[in-house]
Amino acid sequence: MFTTITSLLTGAYLARKRAGLVLAQASVFNVVRLVLAVGFAASRHVVGLIGAWALGLAVAAAWGATGACPGLWEGAIASGRRWRGRR
């Protein structure tokens, strides 16, 4: 589920020509996942490592949907305009 959300956010970032946000979201995911994986590795359970991946992805998706770019959704959703590209 979260991979679908992050894929949609990536598409929204690229449509708004904000590719830097894709890198930032991936960085948030990987940093959180690394920290949690090290913490959960002490328990030596596969469930802990999968949990680290899932929690990292959830944090990255929440960050991307709410805090990454406050004006990201306003222009696209409110206006209903379509992107036309270059002619």
- Section 55-82 average pLDDT: 63
- Tens digit of pLDDT for each residue in 4-31? 767 777 777 777 677 777 777 778 777 8
Q: Is 20 left (phi over 0), alpha (psi -120 to 50) or beta?
A: alpha
Collect all residues with Cβ–Cβ distance below 8 Å to 11 and sequence separation of at least 6: none
Task: Give the Cα-Cα-Cα angle 33, 41, 55 (nearest 5 degrees).
Answer: 30
Helix, strand or coil, per DSSP, at residue 87: coil
List the domain boundaries for the chain: 2-68
pLDDT of residue 62: 76
**Enclosing H/E stretch for 63:** none
- 31 vs 74, more confident: 31
Tell me the one-letter amino acid at 74. Answer: E
- Tens digit of pLDDT for each residue in 75-84? 555 455 565 5
Q: What is the pTM of this model?
A: 0.50
- Section 54-71 average pLDDT: 70
